[in-house]
């Protein structure tokens, strides 16, 4: 009877000590929770660092894309400038060809004038010779020489008339050439104005298309970044929820195994 009373008294004393000092019973549970909270905070810090690094990479990629777009615009401007230079060279070649034609026409006119002047001098020489011959023949044979002189005068008059006709034709050709040059000049001015309008409209169209493409690219990139950030945030929230549930399960298991 005394041994049983001693055992009962020992168990009662241990239960009394446990009820008197509850810190001994809760210490392991608080240690587990502290360790889980510390691990959770470290994981959150690591994920924050990863998110920041992802944002930095995205910013670097955006800067690279902006630089690539700037290079593409510069190359497009260079192509437009090259096309403008080619058009200017083509126009200069056309103008040079027109000047060459005008110079050739002027040269032909100068040659024609020289030929007319030579013919005029020859006719004048012939007329002088005819007058001398007429004066010489008048002394010997007035009638015969008069007839011959009249024939020569008629021939000279005919040649003078032909020369006048040649002069008139040359004058008309000169007027026609000047009118053709004026029309060519007006046509060139109209063509230059049309080319300038076309180039201006083309440049405006290219600029508008470039602006639209850049806006579309920026919008697509913004949507992609927003979707990526939303997915990353969802993944972080899912991980945090899973870890929270795991912590709660671990805390519950720790509470169940604490000895009393």
Is pLDDT at 259 greater than 50 in this prediction?
no
Within 13 Å and on the Cβ side, how many CA atoms surround 239?
13
Query: Cβ neighbours of residue 32 under 8 Å, at least 6 residues apart?
Result: 250, 251, 254
**pLDDT value of position 217:** 84
State pLDDT tens for residues 54-103.
Answer: 888 888 988 888 888 888 888 888 889 888 888 888 888 888 888 888 88
Report DSSP state, residue 138: H
**pLDDT value of position 145:** 66
Domain ranges of the chain: 19-60+91-256
Query: Cβ neighbours of residue 47 under 8 Å, at least 6 residues apart?
Result: 236, 239
Compute the C-alpha angle 256/257/259, nearest 5°.
Answer: 115
State pLDDT tens for residues 88-97.
Answer: 888 888 888 8
The pLDDT of 9-34, averaged and rounded, is 54
157 vs 116: CA distance, rounded Å = 15
Best-predicted range by mean pLDDT among 11-20, 46-55, 133-142, 182-191?
46-55
**pLDDT value of position 238:** 92
User: Alpha helix locations (H) across the chain?
Assistant: 2-20, 23-140, 142-256
183 vs 202: CA distance, rounded Å = 28
């Amino acid at each position: 009877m005394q041994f049983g009373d001693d055992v009962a008294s020992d168990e009662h004393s241990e239960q009394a000590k446990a009820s008197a000092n509850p810190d001994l019973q809760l210490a392991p549970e608080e240690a587990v929770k502290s360790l889980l909270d510390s691990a959770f905070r470290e994981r959150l810090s690591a994920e924050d660092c990863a998110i920041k690094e992802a944002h930095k990479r995205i910013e670097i990629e955006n800067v690279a894309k902006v630089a690539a777009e700037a290079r593409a615009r510069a190359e497009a401007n260079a192509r437009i400038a090259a096309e403008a230079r080619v058009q200017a060279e083509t126009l200069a070649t056309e103008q040079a060809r027109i000047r060459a034609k005008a110079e050739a026409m002027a040269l032909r006119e100068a040659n024609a004038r020289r030929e007319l002047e030579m013919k005029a001098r020859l006719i004048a020489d012939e007329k002088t010779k005819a007058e001398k011959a007429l004066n010489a023949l008048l002394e010997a044979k007035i009638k015969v020489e008069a007839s011959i002189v009249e024939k020569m005068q008629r021939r000279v008059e005919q040649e003078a008339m032909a020369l006048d006709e040649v002069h008139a034709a040359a004058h008309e050709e000169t007027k026609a050439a000047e009118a053709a040059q004026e029309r060519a000049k007006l046509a060139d001015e109209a063509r230059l104005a049309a080319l300038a309008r076309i180039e201006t409209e083309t440049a405006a169209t290219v600029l508008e298309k470039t602006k639209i493409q850049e806006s579309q690219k920026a919008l697509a990139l913004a949507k992609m970044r927003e979707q990526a950030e939303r997915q990353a945030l969802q993944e972080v929230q899912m991980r945090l929820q899973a870890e929270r549930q795991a912590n709660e399960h671990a805390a519950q298991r720790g509470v169940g195994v604490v000895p009393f």
